[in-house]
Amino acid sequence: MVAVLALIVVVALSILVVRVGSIAFVMTGLSEDVARFQALSAFSGAGFTTSEAEAIVMYPARRRIAMMLIRFGSIGLVTSIATLMLSFLSAGGLTWTRLLVMTGGALAVVGLSRTRAFNRLLTPLVKRLLTRYTTLELRDYADLLSLRDDYRIVEFEIKKHTWLADRPVKDLRLTHEGVLVLGVKPPGKAYVGAPPPDVCLRPGDVVILYGRKRRVEAVSLRASGDQAAHREAELEHEHDVRERERQLEP
């Protein structure tokens, strides 16, 4: 029975390590979905070759996180197999009681790790510990850009006959709508970060916008020549700016 309980502890620690790695990846600027997948991939040694994985190895801080996950993963896998063998080969062999304890304990650990309350408690604790006790260059860009509020970063491909197609950035006047162009990825060419005003956006380009969710989505769907929608968005943004200024007044 001791070996079975030890196996459950190993499973719990494995889940905790993956969660810590996921939070660390998020603090380097990865989205939560990508961070969870890459943390589990590194820990399990699956080693998926994707553009997301390339985004890991290109940055020193992310490489160090991935290396630690790989090391912990190899240790955890060997320990789990050894513990499982001990539980089966110990006196009495595999009984229904041990099987039920093993299955129930593993399900309980996995269920706890998926609860919102557990994640709300664990995430800020892990962030504080990583910031205080590691030398990794970590920064939570989701918090920095307020992405948990109404603001979003949206990436989409520019289609023909849409608002953004065949126009330079300066003519779009997106800043007047409260939307920023963070970058452009033309097909087959290098990524252009913070594109200059004279960069012309073409159909097929992938553009990255930052702003309020409803505004960036509206820009991505707006038809070419729809000046009325553009002007309406400008007026709405001006109203929002005046409201914020009024709230900041003493």
Kind of pairing between the strands at 200-201 and 192-193: unpaired
Give mean pLDDT, residues 73-90. Answer: 60
| CA atoms of 186 and 206, how far apart (whole Å) | 6
| Model confidence band, residue 147 (pLDDT cutoffs 50, 70, 90) | low
User: Of 12-21, 111-120, 181-190, where does mean pLDDT reach its minimum?
Assistant: 111-120
> How does pLDDT run across 228-242, given as a tens digit for each residue?
999 999 999 999 888
3-state secondary structure of 189: coil
Closest CA to 136 of 25, 53, 34: 25
Average pLDDT over residues 142-154: 69
Q: What is the pLDDT of residue 40?
A: 82
pLDDT at res. 218 = 92
Instruction: Name the percent of the chain lying above pLDDT 90.
Output: 28
Averaged pLDDT for residues 79-105: 60
**pLDDT at position 146 over 80:** no
What are the boundaries of each domain within the chain? 2-133, 151-248
Band of residue 138 on the pLDDT scale cut at 50, 70, 90 = low
Average pLDDT value for residue range 159-184: 93
How far apart CA 211 and CA 84 sit, in angstroms, is: 51
Task: State the average pLDDT for the chain.
Answer: 77
Share of the chain above pLDDT 70, in %: 66
At the second CATH level, the architecture of 151-248 is 2-Layer Sandwich (3.30)
Residue 136: phi and psi, rounded to 5, are: -65, 145
Higher pLDDT, residue 151 or 7:
151
Cα 53 from chain centre: 13
* Residue, of 41 and 61, whose pLDDT is higher: 41
Q: In the predicted model, is pLDDT for residue 195 greater than 90? A: yes
| pLDDT band at residue 1 using 50, 70 and 90 as cut-offs | low
Q: Which residue has the higher pLDDT, 23 or 184?
A: 184
**Where does the pLDDT of residue 149 fall: very low under 50, low under 70, confident under 90, or very high at 90 and above?**
low
Question: Which tokens sit at 240?
Answer: 């929002």
Per-residue confidence (pLDDT) for residue 139, from 0 to 100:
59
Distances (CA, A) of 120 to 10, 109, 177, 189: 23, 16, 34, 41
